[in-house]
């Protein structure tokens, strides 16, 4: 039997079984059932993905399972990348979920939906017909929605986040549905091979409509501007293992959709499609990391960072499309490989970050960076995990993101000699955007780690923090190990990813990689992260050794910390997340447009004497203010006009029904 | 010579004269004496006023915070022997009762010339 089929069947069976068991068994063991089920499900998905990457393919048609269209499943190498990533994230999140459920959220529905969400995500990348794809996509959206609103009874913000997510994910679904249906209408059937045949011979206008509409749908799932508004709301409010699954696995499927439709089904397309993708990606990356740098909510910060990283991935995808349409297949393969590697890397470090943020929430009850601090002593394992994730996210060696962003920059820089005015303008701007993003990411994660985990506790909750249970630490450990592995030995995954990227753009693999060194093909460039790390460690050791040796020669005098001569310094004197980000906020004042509000209350006796001063400052999401508020206001106006129709009179309602039937009959008479 | 000024309980008369010594007329800085903002940056302390009970501990800590080798200059009669505040309820003692003093400048307040002269002894210019 085909190993992929066995693994996928096992994943689906285990997921369904875990869901049933989680509903049936008592509360005590419910989290165990769901967590182990999810982890096994993820492991099966990972296995299937690895087999798919190694060249095995799998076809399955179940005509009777779904009425009208049936279920068609195909696993190829491109799907294999996303299968493996989703599976690996689910393993870590599942193990972590066992301990996290004690924090709350061990309700019957939530625990049952958890493994089902993973199964739905695994099936999305296996779907090989429009019907199957849309059903799996919708299942994924619904299951994730149920998980997002898990804590809605305890916190009212969750319900609001859930509403945003529900509306935006379904609008995205409508866009994807419309786009794929237009494509299917020009094809012989709704299976992907039929669409692939039709996609090459579509009229350009129809192909453009299909691409732009599906790009909007998939982009909203990936958290790309300006459709990102749900992401920084839903990710913080969801339980942390769910945040990890959504941020590290689900948003990737938006990228999968863009690559699948753009490259595979439509066969590339003209250059302007990919210029749009590149521009959206670059803007999302810079805007996302800028908002993350301003956030004081730990999980909101990570949510915006997801927008940033998906933006970087789309820069790679867009560059790949531009190169491919210009005929430069080798560079296209390199850019797409960089994008796919960044998907993998982002999943690894975002899992660690969200899981450790959840551990902080579990241990302190707070995710407000301004109220945290000093967790290093009380939660050492969580601090280590978050530090590892922050380093990996910072695009500095020896971090994980460094390798993929290096590859991306290589592709963009070598794209400069490629012909065309648009390329000559777009590539330097993209390089600048990637560089700015990388710099801001360092500032953001220094803030998150330094303010949140080092220094002194800023609140009682942070002072009395408790380290999380073992299962949560194991979950973080699995993801952390993946981060370290990907950072030091990217050669283990790069050949597979390179050959996938090469196949998607009809070229050979853009890189050669042994265990230590990555060598680019077609352009000059090689990188050895392991050697780089060793050199870095040796250099640091050397500097420390020299400083120690010099210092040992002179007598040292221990003096207390200078605190201006007044008593011990309190936690209120520390840098907060807000104050740390303030210089950056000043620099980007015109983009961010922070809102400050000062209320001065005077005493009753005299307006010259001040009784109280209230200062409020917030950095709102400007796109949300400018774009969404007017639309929402318009919808509200429309709704209130529509309400006039519903006056409460039964006679009127009966009249509506009567006139509607009459109108329909007249319409039928006229048209027939 | 980097100098950190500490007001241990002065009436601010000496501060006015120190300000004058570093002003455009006397300009002690041209002799290599500079006022700095932290004892961590300083080579010398310039202490004014009798040491009040509130400033006793901060003065000791400031002295500890200055990296060695270090010099202490007591400016004004109050810093030397508590001056008119001697025996007052809030006064802990003269500067030399709290930290070792190297140079003393007499006067209530001392003239800027006297302060500049004392600083020139330290800087050797």
Q: Is A554 on the interface with B (CB under 8 A)?
A: no
Q: Which residue of A has its CA nearest to B59?
A: A565
Are residues B57 and A559, on separate chains, in Cβ contact within 8 Å?
no
Domain contains A387: no
- Number of residues that this document lists for chain A: 672
Q: Which residue of B has its CA nearest to A567?
A: B58
Q: Is A557 on the interface with B (CB under 8 A)?
A: yes
Q: Are A310 and A223 in contact (CB under 8 A)?
A: yes
What is the average pLDDT across A306-317? 92
Using pLDDT thresholds of 50, 70 and 90, give the confidence band for residue B42: very high
Are residues B57 and A565, on separate chains, in Cβ contact within 8 Å?
yes
Q: How far apart are CA A427 and CA A240, in angstroms?
A: 37
The shortest CB-CB distance from A559 to any of B57, B59, B65 is to B65
> Residue A307, exposed/middle/buried by CB under 10 A (0-12, 13-18, 19+)?
buried
Q: How far apart are CA A490 and CA A399, in angstroms?
A: 11
Are residues B64 and A565, on separate chains, in Cβ contact within 8 Å?
no
Q: Is A551 on the interface with B (CB under 8 A)?
A: no
Question: Does position A614 have pLDDT exceeding 80, yes or no?
Answer: yes
Using pLDDT thresholds of 50, 70 and 90, give the confidence band for residue B51: very high
Q: Is B59 on the interface with A (CB under 8 A)?
A: yes
Q: Angle, to 10 degrees, between the axis of helix A400-414 and the axis of helix A421-453?
A: 160
Count of pairs with CB atoms under 8 A, one residue in A, one in B: 19
Question: Does position A515 have pLDDT exceeding 60, yes or no?
Answer: no
Q: What pLDDT digit, counting tens, does each position of B14-23 carry?
A: 999 999 999 9
For the question of whether the overall pTM of this predicted structure is more than 0.90, the answer is no
Structural domain for A616, as ranges:
588-620
Q: How far apart are CA B91 and CA B9, in angstroms?
A: 8
CA separation (Å) from A634 to A561, A622, A627, A638?
A: 59, 18, 11, 6
Q: Which residue of A has its CA nearest to B58?
A: A565
Q: Are A255 and A286 in contact (CB under 8 A)?
A: no
pLDDT at B3: 94
SS3 content of chain B, % helix, strand, coil (to 5): 40, 20, 40
Q: Angle, to 10 degrees, between the axis of helix A108-124 and the axis of helix A77-100?
A: 170
pLDDT at A509: 66
A496 vs A217, higher pLDDT: A217
Domain contains A502: no
Domain contains A95: no
B contact test, residue of A551, A556, A563, A565 with most B CBs within 10 A: A565
Q: Which residue of A has its CA nearest to B38?
A: A564
Residues A636 and A660 in one domain: yes
Q: What pLDDT digit, counting tens, does each position of A19-54 carry?
A: 888 888 877 788 888 888 888 888 988 888 888 888
Question: How many CB atoms are located within 10 Å of the residue A88 CB?
Answer: 25
Q: Are B59 and A565 in contact (CB under 8 A)?
A: yes
Are residues A565 and B58, on separate chains, in Cβ contact within 8 Å?
yes
pLDDT at A522: 62
Greatest mean pLDDT among A57-71, A322-336, B76-90 lies in: B76-90
For residue A562, the chain B residues in CB contact (below 8 A) are: 38-40, 65
Backbone dihedral angles phi then psi of residue A565, each to the nearest 5 degrees:
80, -20
Q: What's the 3-state SS for A541-601?
A: HHHHHHHHHHHHHCCCCCCCCCCCCCCCCCHHHCCCHHHHHHHHHHHCHHHHCCEEEEEEE
Look at phi and psi of residue A448 and say left if phi exceeds 0, alpha if psi is from -120 to 50, else beta. alpha
CA distance A568 to chain B (A): 12
Q: Are A224 and A254 in contact (CB under 8 A)?
A: yes
Backbone dihedral angles phi then psi of residue A154, each to the nearest 5 degrees:
-85, -35
CA distance B18 to chain A (A): 21
Domain contains A535: no
Question: Does position B96 have pLDDT exceeding 80, yes or no?
Answer: yes
What is the average pLDDT across A168-176? 91
- How many domains, chain A? 2
Are residues B58 and A566, on separate chains, in Cβ contact within 8 Å?
yes
Using pLDDT thresholds of 50, 70 and 90, give the confidence band for residue A510: low
pLDDT at A523: 65
What is the average pLDDT across A518-525? 67
A620 vs A116, higher pLDDT: A116
Domain contains A31: no
For residue B56, the chain A residues in CB contact (below 8 A) are: none
pLDDT at A660: 94
Look at phi and psi of residue A648 and say left if phi exceeds 0, alpha if psi is from -120 to 50, else beta. left
Range from A44-58, A93-107, A235-249, A403-417 carrying the lowest mean pLDDT = A93-107
A221 vs A57, higher pLDDT: A221
Question: Does position A525 have pLDDT exceeding 80, yes or no?
Answer: no
What is the average pLDDT across A288-309? 90
Using pLDDT thresholds of 50, 70 and 90, give the confidence band for residue A623: confident
Q: Are A310 and A227 in contact (CB under 8 A)?
A: no
pLDDT at A110: 81
Using pLDDT thresholds of 50, 70 and 90, give the confidence band for residue B35: very high
Question: Does position A443 have pLDDT exceeding 70, yes or no?
Answer: yes
Q: Is B51 on the interface with A (CB under 8 A)?
A: no
Are residues B65 and A557, on separate chains, in Cβ contact within 8 Å?
no
Range from A63-77, A338-352, A447-461 carrying the lowest mean pLDDT = A63-77
pLDDT at B49: 92
Q: Is B39 on the interface with A (CB under 8 A)?
A: yes
Backbone dihedral angles phi then psi of residue A173, each to the nearest 5 degrees:
-60, -45
Question: Does position A103 have pLDDT exceeding 70, yes or no?
Answer: no
For residue B38, the chain A residues in CB contact (below 8 A) are: 562
Cβ partners under 8 Å of residue A189, min gap 6: A129
Question: How many CB atoms are located within 10 Å of the residue A423 CB?
Answer: 21
Helices assigned H by DSSP within A394-459: 400-414, 421-453
Are residues A562 and B57, on separate chains, in Cβ contact within 8 Å?
no
Domain contains A601: yes
Question: Does position A117 have pLDDT exceeding 70, yes or no?
Answer: yes
Supply the mean pLDDT for chain A: 85
B59 vs A100, higher pLDDT: B59
What is the average pLDDT across A563-586? 84
Q: Angle, to 10 degrees, between the axis of helix A577-587 and the axis of helix A421-453?
A: 160
Using pLDDT thresholds of 50, 70 and 90, give the confidence band for residue A418: low
Are residues A562 and B39, on separate chains, in Cβ contact within 8 Å?
yes
Range from A498-507, A592-601, A642-651 carrying the lowest mean pLDDT = A498-507
Question: How many CB atoms are located within 10 Å of the residue A185 CB?
Answer: 11
Domain contains A496: no
Domain contains A649: yes
Look at phi and psi of residue A609 and say left if phi exceeds 0, alpha if psi is from -120 to 50, else beta. beta
Residue owning tokens 């973080």:
A476
Q: How far apart are CA A72 and CA A191, in angstroms?
A: 7
Are residues B61 and A557, on separate chains, in Cβ contact within 8 Å?
no
What ipTM goes with this model? 0.83
Supply the DSSP symbol for A63. T
Task: State percent of chain A over pLDDT 90.
Answer: 17
Q: Are A184 and A199 in contact (CB under 8 A)?
A: no
What is Dmax (Cα atoms) for chain A? 104
For β-strands A518-520 and A526-527, DSSP reports them as antiparallel
Q: How far apart are CA B14 and CA A204, in angstroms?
A: 86
pLDDT at B29: 92
Q: Is B61 on the interface with A (CB under 8 A)?
A: yes
Backbone dihedral angles phi then psi of residue A469, each to the nearest 5 degrees:
-65, 165
């Amino acid at each position: 039997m085909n190993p992929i089929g066995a693994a996928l069947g096992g994943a689906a069976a285990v997921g369904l079984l875990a869901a049933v068991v989680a509903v049936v068994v008592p509360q005590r063991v419910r989290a165990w059932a769901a967590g182990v089920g999810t982890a096994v499900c993820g492991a099966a998905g990972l296995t299937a993905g690895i087999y798919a990457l190694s060249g095995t393919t799998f076809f399955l048609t179940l005509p009777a399972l779904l009425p009208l269209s049936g279920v068609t499943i195909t696993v190829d190498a491109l799907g294999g990348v996303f299968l493996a990533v989703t599976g690996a994230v689910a393993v870590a999140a599942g193990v972590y979920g066992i301990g996290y459920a004690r924090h709350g959220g061990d309700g019957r529905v939530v625990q049952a939906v958890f493994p089902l969400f993973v199964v739905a995500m695994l099936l999305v990348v296996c779907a090989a017909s429009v019907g199957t794809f849309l059903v799996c996509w919708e299942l994924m959206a619904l299951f994730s929605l149920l998980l997002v609103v898990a804590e809605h009874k305890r916190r009212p913000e969750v319900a609001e986040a859930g509403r945003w997510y529900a509306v935006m994910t379904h609008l995205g679904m409508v866009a994807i549905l419309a786009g794929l249906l237009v494509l299917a209408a020009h094809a012989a059937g709704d299976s992907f091979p039929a669409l692939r045949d039709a996609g090459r011979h579509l009229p350009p206008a129809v192909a453009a409509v299909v691409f732009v509409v599906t790009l909007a749908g998939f982009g909203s799932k990936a958290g790309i501007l300006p459709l990102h508004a749900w992401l920084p709301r839903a990710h913080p409010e969801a339980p942390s293992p769910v945040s990890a699954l959504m941020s590290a696995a689900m948003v990737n499927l938006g990228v999968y959709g863009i690559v699948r439709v753009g490259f595979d089904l439509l066969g590339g397309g003209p250059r302007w499609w990919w210029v749009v993708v590149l521009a959206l990606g670059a803007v999302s990356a810079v805007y996302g990391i800028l908002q993350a740098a301003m956030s004081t909510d730990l999980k909101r910060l990570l949510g915006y960072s997801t927008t940033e990283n998906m933006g970087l991935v789309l820069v790679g995808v867009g560059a790949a499309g531009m190169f491919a349409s210009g005929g430069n297949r080798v560079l296209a393969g390199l850019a797409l490989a960089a994008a796919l590697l960044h998907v993998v890397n982002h999943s690894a470090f975002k899992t660690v970050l969200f899981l450790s943020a959840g551990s902080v929430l579990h241990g302190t009850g707070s995710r407000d960076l301004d109220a945290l601090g000093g967790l290093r002593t009380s939660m050492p394992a969580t601090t280590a995990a978050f530090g590892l994730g922050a380093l990996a996210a910072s695009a500095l060696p020896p971090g994980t993101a460094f390798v993929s962003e290096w590859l991306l920059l290589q592709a963009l820089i070598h794209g400069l000699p490629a012909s065309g005015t648009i390329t000559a303008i777009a590539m330097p701007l993209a390089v600048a955007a990637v560089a700015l993003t990388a710099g801001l990411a360092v500032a953001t994660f220094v803030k998150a780690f330094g303010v949140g985990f080092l220094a002194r506790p800023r609140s009682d909750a942070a002072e009395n923090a408790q380290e999380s249970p073992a299962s949560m630490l194991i979950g973080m450990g699995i993801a952390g190990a993946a981060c370290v592995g990907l950072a030091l030995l990217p050669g283990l995954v790069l050949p597979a990813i390179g050959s996938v990227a090469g196949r998607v753009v009809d070229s050979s693999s853009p890189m050669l990689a042994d265990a230590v060194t990555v060598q680019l093909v077609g352009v000059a460039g090689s990188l050895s992260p392991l050697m780089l790390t060793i050199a870095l460690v040796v250099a640091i050791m050397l500097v420390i050794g020299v400083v120690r040796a010099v210092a040992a020669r002179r007598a040292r005098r221990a003096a207390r910390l200078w605190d201006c001569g007044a008593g011990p310094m309190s936690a209120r004197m520390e840098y907060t997340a807000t104050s740390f980000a303030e210089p950056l906020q000043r620099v980007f004042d015109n983009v961010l447009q922070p809102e400050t509000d000062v209320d001065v209350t005077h005493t009753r006796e005299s307006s010259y004497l001040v009784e109280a001063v209230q200062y409020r400052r917030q950095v709102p999401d400007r796109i949300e203010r400018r774009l969404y508020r007017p639309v929402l206001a318009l919808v509200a106006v429309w709704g209130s006009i529509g309400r006039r129709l519903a006056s409460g009179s039964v006679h009127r309602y009966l009249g509506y029904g009567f006139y509607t039937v009459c109108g329909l009959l007249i319409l039928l008479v006229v048209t027939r | 010579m980097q100098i950190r000024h500490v007001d241990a309980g002065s009436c601010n008369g000496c501060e006015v004269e120190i300000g004058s010594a570093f002003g455009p007329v006397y300009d002690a800085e041209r002799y290599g004496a500079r006022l700095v903002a932290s004892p961590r940056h300083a080579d010398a302390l310039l202490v004014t006023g009798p040491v009040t009970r509130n400033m006793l501990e901060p003065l000791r800590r400031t002295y500890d915070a200055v990296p060695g080798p270090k010099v202490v200059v007591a400016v004004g009669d109050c810093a030397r022997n508590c001056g008119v505040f001697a025996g007052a309820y809030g006064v802990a003692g003269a500067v030399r009762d709290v930290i070792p003093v190297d140079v003393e400048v007499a006067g209530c307040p001392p003239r800027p010339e006297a302060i500049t002269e004392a600083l020139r002894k330290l800087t050797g210019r």
